[in-house]
């Protein structure tokens, strides 16, 4: 059997920095091979090298570098263009950035057929509609005429896959194809990738999600600092990890079995003592919000007590982010009210609102997008401390204390957010939210963009701060494993309505609503038991 990809001692360097070192990789027809690891591990650079997309400044060397049976060591850009799309399809994580915003989706899908001269223009457009239908896009004739921004995240990702498989390439490279998707949409995309495999397409999967890898991959390579530290059959690597780094990745995966424990500590720490919730600090009373003819939030009610975490889950469009903005006082409801410490936003003057807002702060998914890129961390924190009425002369000391509280050195004050890692930026975002002294933190997808071990560190930090400061969290997320790990209670939203709520253990063990059951059934899970994992640690 001729391998579709065969590399030995692959090394990639940029300037004087080696980012991939001595990697060996083979992908056979019909096989799924996964490369796992965190940001900076070299997995995405390895994948891009197989497509000639490392960039002009890259120094690529290998003892063996064969793609679809040909020696690709000295391929020109023209030769690589003949491979991309026709022999190797490429699916990226962010379809919105990958698809041309100025072209209808149908033209985007048809482009591969046109560039490789496989079909005339008219036939290529008809084929694009067939491809959209094949990947499960509803009303493909209509969707083919729409632009990427007019589609949901799941539909955009399907369109990207349709584009990648248009020429029926024997190999598909998928780089974090489901990370930003809701659990049910993720399940649909995984079903789609699995269906391609059954037709004989080989798949190289790049991911930090070990549950996704467990479902799809035949073999797995674990990368750290540019090197493969462990490889083997997926069941063997995940059930009996031999390298400490692999064990660390597996131990950091949150789910119901990790509730009350630390994720980032070595081994299993002693469970946290149970907390008694305090007074009600946040309340929604029949909250309703409409946008034109669409009701985004429909008569939603809940309470949140000091020291308690309420998980809010649901798919994109369910209304959970709109609900979060209503309780933050950033949107005015069309019905009902939201109250902080018993004070409804709607009854307050603008001045009173500003004063109350210091008691309810927010941590977003993308902290870099919420920072002014011109400011260093010192100025970011000083602005938040000003909201908290901290005197100017005390702000430097207080900013340093906040960084210490979130596990960052004081030297971070003089750095700009874009020079920090994703985990460091999220810690700065948490420090900024803590600066005014809030009683409530609204966490809107705070860890969904983070690698598994960095996610573990941030989740542990949030738990420590809750226990230390007695804060309440409204934790908005589509990652059900994270919600199960962090929450005391959970509320499930669908079409603007809370369809089920209750203690997290009860809802996950015996969901009453059909929608909740569908969400839980869609969660990808690591098949090996944690018992076997613990036996190896």
Whole-angstrom distance, CA of residue 40 vs CA of residue 25: 18
- Count the Cβ atoms, other than its own, within 10 Å of residue 38: 21
Q: Which residues of 490-524 are buried (b: 16+ CB within 10 A; e: fewer)?
A: bbbbbbbbbbbbbebeebbeebeeebbeebbebbb
Task: Compute the chain's Rg from CA coordinates.
Answer: 25
Q: What angle do CA 19, 21, 26 make, to 5 degrees?
A: 115
- Count the Cβ atoms, other than its own, within 10 Å of residue 434: 22
Q: Locate the domains of the chain by residue range.
A: 1-87+199-251, 280-359+439-536, 369-437
Structure tokens at 207: 């991911």
Helix (H) or strand (E) holding 340: strand 335-340
Whole-angstrom distance, CA of residue 209 vs CA of residue 179: 8
- Residue by residue, pLDDT tens for the chain (537 residues) are 689 999 999 999 998 899 999 999 999 999 999 999 887 889 989 999 999 999 888 999 999 999 988 999 999 999 999 999 889 999 887 667 788 899 999 999 998 888 888 888 889 999 999 999 888 888 999 999 999 988 877 788 888 889 988 988 999 999 888 876 778 878 888 888 898 888 889 999 998 888 889 999 999 999 999 999 999 999 999 999 999 999 988 988 888 888 888 888 544 445 566 667 789 999 999 999 999 999 999 999 999 999 999 999 998 778 998 999 999 999 999 999 999 999 999 999 999 998 998 999 999 877 777 888 899 999 999 999 998 889 999 999 999 999 999 989 999 999 998 888 777 888 999 999 999 999 999 998 888 777 788 888 889 989 988 988 899 999 998 889 899 999 999 999 999 999 999 999 999 999 999 999 999 998 888 865 433 444 444
Closest to 288 in 3D by CA, of 329, 333, 255: 333
Architecture of the domain defined by 1-87+199-251 = 3-Layer(aba) Sandwich (3.40)
Whole-angstrom distance, CA of residue 383 vs CA of residue 435: 9
Closest to 378 in 3D by CA, of 340, 435, 339: 435
Whole-angstrom distance, CA of residue 177 vs CA of residue 240: 26
Same fold, 1-87+199-251 and 280-359+439-536: yes
Q: Does domain 280-359+439-536 have CATH number 3.30.420.40?
A: no
Residue 331 has φ and ψ, to the nearest 5°, of -130, 145
């Amino acid at each position: 059997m001729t391998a579709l990809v065969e590399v030995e001692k692959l090394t990639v360097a940029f300037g004087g920095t080696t980012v991939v070192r001595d990697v060996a990789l083979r992908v056979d027809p019909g096989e799924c091979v996964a490369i796992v690891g965190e940001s900076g591990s070299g997995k995405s650079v390895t994948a891009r090298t197989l497509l000639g997309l490392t960039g002009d400044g890259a120094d690529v060397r290998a003892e063996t570098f064969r793609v679809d049976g040909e020696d690709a060591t000295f391929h020109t850009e023209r030769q690589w263009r003949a491979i991309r799309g026709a022999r190797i399809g490429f699916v990226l994580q962010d379809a919105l950035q990958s698809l041309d915003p100025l072209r209808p989706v149908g033209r985007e899908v048809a482009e591969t057929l046109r560039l490789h001269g496989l079909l005339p223009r008219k036939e290529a457009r008809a084929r694009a509609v067939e491809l959209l239908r094949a990947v499960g896009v509803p009303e493909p004739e209509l969707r083919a005429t729409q632009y990427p921004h007019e589609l949901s995240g799941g539909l955009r990702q399907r369109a990207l896959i349709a584009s990648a498989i248009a020429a029926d390439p024997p190999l598909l490279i998928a780089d974090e194809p489901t990370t930003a998707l809701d659990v049910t949409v993720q399940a649909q995309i995984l079903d789609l990738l699995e269906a391609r495999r059954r037709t004989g397409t080989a798949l190289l999967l790049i991911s930090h999600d070990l549950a996704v890898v467990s479902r799809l991959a035949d073999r797995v390579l674990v990368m750290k600092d540019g090197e493969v530290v462990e490889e083997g059959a997926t069941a063997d690597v995940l059930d009996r990890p031999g390298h400490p780094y692999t064990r660390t990745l597996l131990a950091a995966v949150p789910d119901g079995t990790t509730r009350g424990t630390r994720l980032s500590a070595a081994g299993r720490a002693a469970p946290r003592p149970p907390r008694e919730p305090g007074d009600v600090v946040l309340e929604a009373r029949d909250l309703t919000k409409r946008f034109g003819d669409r009701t985004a939030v429909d008569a939603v009610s809940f309470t949140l007590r000091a020291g308690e975490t309420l998980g809010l889950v649901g798919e994109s469009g369910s209304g959970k982010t709109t609900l979060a903005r209503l309780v933050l006082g950033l949107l005015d409801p069309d019905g009902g009210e939201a109250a902080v410490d018993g004070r409804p936003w709607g009854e307050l003057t603008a001045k009173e609102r500003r004063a109350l807002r210091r008691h309810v702060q927010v941590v977003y998914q993308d902290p870099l997008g919420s920072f002014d890129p011109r400011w260093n961390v010192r100025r970011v924190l000083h602005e938040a401390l000003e909201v908290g009425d901290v005197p100017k002369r005390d702000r430097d000391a207080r900013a340093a204390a906040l960084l210490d509280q979130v596990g960052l050195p004081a030297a971070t004050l003089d750095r700009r957010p874009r020079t920090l890692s994703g985990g460091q930026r999220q810690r700065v975002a948490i420090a900024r939210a803590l600066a005014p002294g809030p009683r409530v933190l609204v966490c809107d997808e705070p860890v969904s963009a983070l690698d598994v071990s960095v996610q573990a560190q941030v989740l542990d930090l949030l738990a420590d701060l809750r226990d230390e400061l007695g804060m309440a969290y409204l934790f908005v997320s589509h990652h059900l494993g994270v919600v199960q790990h962090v929450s005391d209670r959970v509320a499930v939203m669908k079409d603007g309505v809370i369809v089920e709520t209750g203690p997290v253990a009860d809802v996950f063990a015996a969901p009453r609503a059909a929608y909740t059951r569908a969400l839980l059934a869609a969660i990808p899970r690591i098949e090996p038991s944690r018992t076997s994992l613990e036996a190896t640690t």
